[in-house]
Chains A and B, each alone.
Chain A
């Protein structure tokens, strides 16, 4: 009997596969290129799991333009050579668009292949600046690029109406890059002070006294939480009540421990959200489904970007009622506006970089907790 069931099951599966082959014209194939093996396999599997949950939801709601979505996943093993092969396999399998992948150099190995074959690619964990500087018509990404934090920081400083801004970094390539990027985007007249401190010291009174002489209304420190904590503490000791902002390297609760609740209160920083910070009803619903299925949340925000890439593709297909890459690309680049994704709103600029609101501001409250502002 058991054997019979097995044969029956096999037969069913086989016939299903045949029908799906026969109905191929009725599905829209979307590729997923991800590291399903290798050292970042966990990221790749998270990506695949999330995209499959989203695809199942889309299909359960009736699909797109009357057709079901079919996900074709290919493994790139976090290796450029494997990635090129994966990309080749995906373009020959007739996908209209590809989600992925994780790792800038891996994405770079595949992006030309997709572009030549007119397949839309929306990268997810690839922050290297030059990926979108090549002028590829079909390339997009849902993750921020390495220099976008500066833009976000400058925007926050402008939005809060600061007129006299002191920028301080610690000469590390990360902090210096962020400081330079921010300064470029601010009006020269508003940056009243720009210099670097030596990380690892204990006494920053000299620096604070000097900055105080320039009478800024905010200090933007782009370095790490350790020095930021000491600066806050010594600023408080000087009884100097000036606003202070940090970059995502200050997103560490040790900052409050070092500064003390009193001194840290009101400090705010610009940082990408973590998976736990995704609190929109839609994101919550999807992540709950994910948790129900796999018993844990995605390990990092990077796999959630794959979900956003998939959603953007589906939205483009829906709005254009077309699978023509030129039409899709045009829609994504020029017409998509503030589309609600998992990590915030999604839109793309003329280069294909994500332009929707993504970086978030968190502030330290009176109890020394980080509170993400809406």
Chain B
């Protein structure tokens, strides 16, 4: 039983990261009906920018570890947000009125561009965050030993997700985002600057991905230029699982995917871990084609 809870927390920790990245997919899809394949690479950029800023500015030495990491995270979030904004302006906006397939191809191209740019800037060998930044404290919860950092990471993920939920559902700007997601034309007529809304979405989504990148870098230590692909794939799956376009769905999908993966590996087979989680995805999509929380939208004929 203890092992079960241990594996459950392992799954939730990974799932929290998936969920955070999945939010970026789901937001962009909600507004633009576009799957931003470059999103996983924005996550990677976050991890690499974090390392560069951390080692070049020496933040943790000058203002203390906690404040230093916070400042670092804010800087990375802003920078990745800017990259996301530029991505939208350069790769997606010119194709806004073209068939949807063109934008998807552009997204794939952007992904390849980012991955290679990261490799050329930072090199193909794995890089390592400095050791000893985070304290290795474990907390005993109901007989399960949990590293404190994992709990904090999970809490930060949940906080960011709640913040995003609040932003999209309780604020004016959030209402504008949701309006643009439902019908861009009507939103325009209501006086909403749809271009601004889209730019904003392209800053928030990547910013969350960037935050996830820094957390992964800080916690796991090792980063490499291809890591975004696997995380992106899993997060994309999570977004579909929860119902793409739906923000609580992305959170649920991410956590669920993490837990399914972890329990599948623990009780069935490690090597079959991914096969099991994708099987679950297929089964859920057979029963609920729009995902767990996806709304059934009547097709316009």
Contact = CB atoms under 8 A, between A and B. Distances in A.
Interface string A230-242: 1001101111000
B266 A210 contact: yes
B142 interface: no
Contacts of B6: 209
Contacts of A209: 3, 6-7, 10, 266
Interface in A180-219: 195-198, 200-203, 205-207, 209-210, 213
B216 interface: yes
Interface string B8-33: 00110110000000000000000000
B174 interface: no
Which of B125, B132, B138, B222 has the largest number of chain A CB atoms within 10 A? B222
A201 B230 contact: yes
B288 interface: no
A103 to B, nearest CB: 28
Interface stretch (B64-72, B183-191, B268-276): B268-276
Given A210-B265, A237-B147, A258-B126, A205 B10 contact: yes
A177 to B, nearest CB: 15
Given A200-B226, A200-B227, A238-B145, A206 B271 contact: no
A318 B274 CA distance: 61
B14 A203 contact: yes
Given A200-B230, A209-B10, A209-B266, A260 B273 contact: no
Q: How large is the interface on A (under 10, 10 to 19, 20 to 34, 35 or more residues)?
A: 20 to 34
B170 interface: no
Which of A198, A261, A262 has the largest number of chain B CB atoms within 10 A? A198
A275 B261 CA distance: 44
B227 A198 contact: no
A171 interface: yes
B188 to A, nearest CB: 42
Contacts of A239: 138, 145
Contacts of B222: 202, 226, 229-230, 233, 258
Which of B14, B126, B145, B270 has the largest number of chain A CB atoms within 10 A? B270
Contacts, number: 78
Contacts of A236: 136
Contacts of A234: 220
Nearest to B217: A202
Contacts of B220: 202-203, 230, 233-234
7 contacts: A195-B270, A209-B7, A209-B266, A210-B270, A233-B221, A234-B220, A254-B125
Nearest to A205: B10
Q: How large is the interface on B (under 10, 10 to 19, 20 to 34, 35 or more residues)?
A: 20 to 34
Contact of B274 (A198, A205, A210, A229): A198
B145 A210 contact: no
Contact of B126 (A210, A254, A262): A254
B10 A206 contact: yes
Contacts of A89: none
Interface in B18-52: none
A8 to B, nearest CB: 60
B131 interface: yes
Contacts of B10: 203, 205-206, 209
Contact of B13 (A205, A210, A233, A238): A205
Contacts of B126: 226, 254, 258
B262 interface: yes
Which of A202, A213, A233, A257 has the largest number of chain B CB atoms within 10 A? A202
B279 interface: no
Contacts of B230: 200-201
Interface string B236-261: 00000000000000000000000001
Nearest to A195: B270
Contact of A206 (B132, B138, B266): B266
Interface in B137-178: 138, 145, 147
Contacts of A260: 131-132, 221
